[in-house]
Amino acid sequence: MFTKRWYGAAMAGLLWLATILTAVAETVSTPSFHLPASVQPTIGAWFCSDDFLEPDGYKKYVDLFAEHSIYDLLSTSCRVNQHEVTEPAFHDQVRAAVAYARERGLKIALDLDVRIAREAFRALYPNEQQEMLRLRTIPLQATGEVEYTIASDVLTDHMTGNTTPYIPLSGRLVRVYAYAGGEGGIDPDTVRDITGQCNVKAASKDEVRVTIPCDTATEGLSACVMAAFTHLTPDVYAPHLLDFQRAIIEQYADVDLSGLMKDEWGFPPCHGGCPEKNDFWFSEFRAEAYKEATGGRDLVRDCLLMYAGERGRERERQAAINILLETSRERNSAIEEQYYDLTKAFFGPDAAVVTHATWTPYPGPSEFKKNGLNWWAAKRDWGQSDESTPFPARTALAKKWGGGAWYNQFYATQVTAYNESLWNHALGGGRINYHPLYPAPEGMNRLDRSAQLLSPGLITGESRIRLLQLITKAPLDCPVAVIFGHACAMNWAGPAYAQVGLDVTDRFWRAGFYADLIPTSEIVSGALTITENGAVRYGPQRYAAVVLYHPEFEQPETAAFFNRVHPDATALFRVGAWTRDFNAQDFDGIASLPSAMTACKDGPEAAEKAIEALKKCGIRPCTPAENRLPNETACPGREGRIRLTDHTEVFLSGKDNVAGDPIKGDFDLSGHPVRAEAEGILAARFDGDGALEALAAGGLKQFNGGGVSLAFETPVDLAYWHDASGQARGALQNWSGAVPASLLALTSDWLQLATPASPPNTDTIPTEKETINKTSE
């Protein structure tokens, strides 16, 4: 429960004094469970399974969501065993389901990813499947022969859970090198291609087995055997991939979709990012792209260099890794962008593109290998993530893609974890995309996994938080950014592998100075800009401080960017050396950076000095994020105060009751005194003259501030704001009867929202009363 003492002088302007007892005969419009189309939606996830193709198999799911949820948009993926989205019967069932959902007031954003049409792609383009190049070493001897077998893997992820995995289809020997090794890596002068001398004993989907003849010349040497296995999924570099992606979307152009879904796109799964660095995603098409990007280099030969390292070729190795991963990010991002553009082209400019590019979801080796860590380049309408994505990445994605709140697709086995996430997401500037319970409790069917999330308390809490989307389109204010060297973080031969600056962002969040996490590739893309007064800007966010984190391998353009920053507008700090450029050539990056950029010995020192700078600017901290996600990064709690970039001040409280706890007292909101009593949420914004510009509150009993005085005998959920034309508008939730005169004095334009009854067997889900020190994400 919040309690605050009175701040400031008396309020200026006329106060309208009234209570709910003063009312007029007018009533509000027909109630709706849904937000207006112009407002960021509440999103739920629908994963269709085998029963979807049964006659009317979709209806029980649509009926559940239509009658018992406040979801405006369903991110929908049909993962049906032994069926693909390209089948005519599948298309027809989807069209019927979408039409039925429309009738019931629901919008569908459908998954049309090529990974749920893998057999169809294979039938058309059998030679454009993804390969994995596996490198394995074996010592050679002085006589006889040595035999070595490389086995394939069966790969699976969320896209294949109900159908055929990314099974291996075939295997082939690509190359065998012999060489002398030693301390510091391979002796490059000894490397020779001995593929022609080897005998292939087996080459199948399961294994590649070779024998290597030995003689006195091979004694003391080692061999690296390279085998490629073809898997059942389109090659990321396949020449026809974009055409096929377009064809699937065009096939569904006659369906009344409200958007499309693309989830965790990239190369097939490789959990851990292959710590040994001896497996590479491969194809002849990727080899050609690499050859073009490097001016003629051989990808197979460079895989040996990138894997084992060679004496005297450290720079070449670093440059090869940089180029391999940058081209991966660029290719995967181009596929995402085409998907986004086609969504708009076929389904209209307001069609939504969901869900997230995040996979594991941590900005580390697994993501490096899957997509080149392209989270900030994968085009979306709103910032989107999943599971335990670090909060600084979530907030940065909201700045990049707009709309205000970010979405995080969250799942857990217990509903209580959603209760917690509802509030910590909101306190981090975001909302949940409600994934059904997963892993599913034993014996629970697919329908009930969604129904359990429609409990009265959870619906009430979400419905109150959604009022924010009516009064603001601004994201969480993060006055500081950590901009990490994208190439350096991904380069396993570099000085700071897998270090993206989360040690710094955590210190900011735990001090209440929220920070965005952004890669330096966003400088190159043009998304990071400099304002007229010399401040660093990312979307609507202007930064009072920036930490440049490990800029090794950056291009001179990065230095040029920071030289345009005015030190009075954005204070600059640096962690890490900068001695080489992207091609690993000598570059005195430190001398190229502005002298006003403060060098720091490590992340903690950078955070400490940046916080001092923020305080000198008069920036007030918000509620410290003292909890932790499973990946140990900072996470907000369930009660606190935040600020948005448009100066909306927000109090949120759901610590004991998921529907919302009391917020009561006297508050200072950006210098404006307010007295209020509400439940769950209280948010307000004032104009330059101190008048109330916007208000959102759950269970509001009284509000006094900004020239407005409201009092209600029956608590009310309401929102009040001014639209783009300056017209005052309002919304009441679960209100019946006439609009109180005090509200009509604000505006005559009132929207009525409602919340549905919960489905059976959800009203017994406990409304927990607990203090949780660690999230269950």
Structure tokens given for 255: 């369906």
DSSP assignment string, 290-354 = HHHHHTS--HHHHHHHHHH-BTT-HHHHHHHHHHHHHHHHHHHHHHHHHHHHHHHHHH-TT-EEE
Give residue 182's pLDDT: 82
627 pLDDT band (50/70/90 cuts)?
very high
Tokens standing for residue 675: 């007295």
User: Which residue, 488, 498, 502, 506, is CA-closest to 550?
Assistant: 488
Place of tokens 């035999």: 147
| Plot region of 277 (φ>0 → left; ψ -120 to 50 → alpha; else → beta) | left
According to DSSP, the residues that pair with 48 across neighbouring strands are 78
Distance, CA of 747 to CA of 65 (rounded, Å): 32
- Direct distance between the N- and C-terminal alpha carbons of the chain, in angstroms, rounded to an integer: 24
Q: Which residues contact 17 (CB under 8 A, 6 or more apart)?
A: 709, 742
Q: What is the CA radius of gyration of the chain?
A: 29
pLDDT of the residue at 764: 53
Tens-digit pLDDT profile for residues 314-365: 999 999 999 999 999 999 999 999 999 999 999 999 999 999 999 999 999 9
Banded pLDDT at 162 (limits 50, 70, 90): confident
Residue 214 has pLDDT above 80, yes or no: yes
pLDDT for the residue 29? 67
Q: How confident is the model at residue 30 (pLDDT cuts 50, 70, 90)?
A: confident
Residues pairing with 410 in the sheet: 434
pLDDT band at 183 (very low <50, low <70, confident <90, very high): confident
pLDDT digits (tens, 9 = 90+) for 531-546: 999 999 999 999 999 9
Question: Is 411 a residue whose pLDDT tops 80?
Answer: yes
Distance separating alpha carbons of residues 286 and 454, to the nearest angstrom: 46
Measured CA to CA, the distance from residue 9 to residue 415 in angstroms comes to 45
Q: What is the mean pLDDT of residues 85-109?
A: 98
3-state secondary structure of 504: helix
pLDDT recorded at residue 19: 36
Residues 6+ apart with CB under 8 A from 307: 135, 224, 276, 277, 278
pLDDT > 80? residue 769: no
Q: How does pLDDT run across 456-485, given as a tens digit for each residue?
A: 999 999 999 999 999 999 999 999 999 999
Q: Distance between CA atoms of 766 and 420, rounded to whole angstroms?
A: 13
Task: Return the exposure string of 757-776: e unless at least 16 CB atoms fall within 10 Å of the residue's CB, then b.
Answer: ebbeebeebebeeeebeebb
Determine the average pLDDT of the residues in 147-151: 98
pLDDT greater than 70 at residue 702: yes
What span, in angstroms and rounded, lies between the C-alpha atoms of 71 and 77? 16
pLDDT in tens, 640-697: 999 999 999 999 999 999 999 999 999 999 899 999 999 999 999 999 999 999 999 9
pLDDT in tens, 579-591: 999 999 999 999 9
Phi, psi of 504 (to 5 degrees): -80, -50
List the structure tokens of 753: 């929202």
d(CA 199, CA 210): 5
- Separation in Å, CA 493 to CA 107, 308, 367, 553, 735: 47, 10, 17, 11, 62
Length of the chain: 777
Q: What is the pLDDT of residue 760?
A: 85
CA distance 645 to 643: 7
Least confident of 327-341, 342-356, 392-406, 750-764: 750-764
What is the dihedral sign for C-alpha 420, 421, 422, 423?
positive
